[in-house]
Chains A and B, each alone.
Chain A
Amino acid sequence: MAAGHSPMAQFEVHRLIPLEIGGVDISFTNASLWMALAVAAGCTFLVASVRRDGIIPGRMQSVVELMYDFIERQTVFNVMGESGKKFFPFIFSLFIFIFFTNFLGLIPYSFTVTSHIIVTFAMALSVFVLVLIVGFWTHGLHFFSLFVPSGAPLWIMPLIVPIEIISFLSRPISLSVRLAANMLAGHTMLKVFAGFIVTMLGAGGVLSVLSIAPLLAGVAVTALEVLVAAIQAWVFALLTCIYLNEAVHLHEH
């Protein structure tokens, strides 16, 4: 059983409820299931924990308040100042969704939605489109001055403007690749170490005794993955703030 299991098998998408409308496959897959579970878990966690809204918070309420504060003050306000207030709901929802998909993915036999680049790319693209909308909404065509760095000599412009445009277009890609690659690499590593344990135990003799090594490595990687799951959710939120901040304030710092 273990021999036939590739470390990549955990990332396969299966149809749970096959659906097709107008020739478009919109089946409810295991990815959809875990996304729905992440939304449900996130909402339950946030709502249930602050349901009793004590003035002196309990344990769960403290956790929620810390998360809220971490995103609201330490991240959104820190980067965007007052103008970040209207984007806070979006950024916090994004953070909670990624946070919960990452953490649910750590449960054995679950599915890590964020390891699929199309999911993270959809989120990054929505951030990109929001940046464009906000930029053109607040500055009109003056938004294009984002591609013209202030203080650069005029003769260098034909070179620097395309570079700025490429750098701007690469944002949704780097944003999505970063999250998906982190998740993919971490979970593959976990599965590989787990596979080593089984193979070495099965080999017998000295190897069975040595199988403690991949076990310890697996435990360490699991701990690292918990850290990565939280950090990557935060990095996604932070970079969203940085990009939105540029769209709102252009070059002023």
Chain B
Amino acid sequence: MVTNQTGDSDDPDKRHLDDLGRRIDAVRALRPEAKPAQPSGRLNVVYRLSTEFVAAVFVGLALGWGFDYVTGLKPLGIIAFSMLGIAAAFYSVVRAMRQLNAEQDKEGI
């Protein structure tokens, strides 16, 4: 009798299935694992970077306004924090770009 680790070698369905599994494994071994293409089109990248930018500027402005509201130093907070916000915007965009590049490298595109 054929020894089978999973037992149940008498069951024809089971044997059939094991055979199928072996054949699938054999085919898989022949080629590198196919990865589905990730949908990262140009438009998508544009959307991602622009929202990243706008959001950071917006948060900078909001923080500046809040700072002014609390401390009463009316224009100073908005000026300082909006500059920081713009800096953060560029920073976020650069980081997002880096992430996108890393993703593409991983995909091997």
Interface of A with B (CB < 8 Å)? 55, 70, 74, 78, 159, 162-164, 166-167, 169-171, 173-174, 177-178, 181-182, 227, 230-231, 234-235, 242
Chain A: minimal CB distance from B31 (Å): 18
Contact A170 B58 (CB under 8 A): yes
Name the distance in Å between A63's Cβ and chain B's nearest Cβ.
13
> Which of A170, A178, A231, A234 interacts with B88 by CB under 8 Å?
A170
How many contacts between A and B, using CB within 8 angstroms? 67
Q: Are A173 and B99 in contact (CB under 8 A)?
A: no
Contact in complex: A235, B44 (CB < 8 Å): yes
Residues of B within 8 A of A78 (CB): 106
A242 to B106, CA, bound (A): 14
Sample of 5 A–B contacts (CB below 8 Å)? A74-B38, A166-B63, A166-B85, A170-B55, A170-B88
Chain B residues with a Cβ closer than 8 Å to the other chain, count? 29
Contact A178 B51 (CB under 8 A): yes
- Report yes or no: B88 in contact with A166, Cβ–Cβ below 8 A: yes
Nearest residue (CB) in A for B38 is: A74
CB-based contact A70/B36 at 8 Å: yes
| B84 contact from A166, A171, A182, A227, Cβ within 8 A | A166
CB nearest to A174 among chain B residues: B55
> CB < 8 Å: which of B39, B41, B92, B99 contacts A170?
B92
Give, as a whole number of angstroms, the nearest-CB distance from B3 to chain A: 23
Residues of B within 8 A of A242 (CB): 99
Contact A234 B39 (CB under 8 A): yes
B35 & A74 in contact (Cβ 8 Å cutoff) = yes
With A55-B17, A74-B36, A227-B39 known to touch, is A167 a contact of B91 (CB < 8 Å)? yes
Q: Which 3 residue pairs across A and B have the least CB separation, nearest first?
A: A174-B55, A166-B88, A170-B55
CB-nearest residue of chain A to B17? A55
Q: Which residue of B lies closest to A169 (CB)?
A: B59
Task: Evaluate whether A231 and B54 lie within 8 angstroms (CB atoms) in the complex, with A55-B17, A170-B59 already known.
Answer: no
**Residues of A close to B78: CB separation below 8 A:** none
Tell me the smallest distance from the CB of B14 to a CB of chain A, in Å. 11
The answer to the question of B77 belonging to the interface, with a C-beta cut-off of 8 Å to chain A, is no
Q: Is the CB of A166 within 8 A of B39?
A: no
Segment 35-81 of B: residues with Cβ below 8 Å from A = 35-36, 38-39, 41, 44, 47-48, 51-52, 54-56, 58-60, 63, 81
Q: Is the CB of B97 closer than 8 A to any CB of chain A?
A: no
Find out whether the CB atom of B92 lies under 8 angstroms from the CB atom of A167: yes
Residues of A within 8 A of B95 (CB): 167
Instruction: Report chain B residues within 8 Å CB of A170.
Output: 52, 55-56, 58-59, 88-89, 92
Q: List residues of chain A with CB within 8 A of the CB of B54.
A: 174, 177
Q: Is A235 in contact with B48, judged by CB distance below 8 angstroms?
A: yes
Residues of A within 8 A of B63 (CB): 166, 169
Q: Which residues on the B side are within 8 Å of A173 (C-beta)?
A: 55, 58-59
Chain A residue nearest in CB terms to B53 = A174
Cα–Cα, bound, A55→B16 (Å): 12
In the complex, which residues of chain A have a beta carbon less than 8 angstroms from the beta carbon of B87? 159, 163
Q: What is the CA–CA distance of A227 and B39 in the complex, to the nearest angstrom?
A: 9
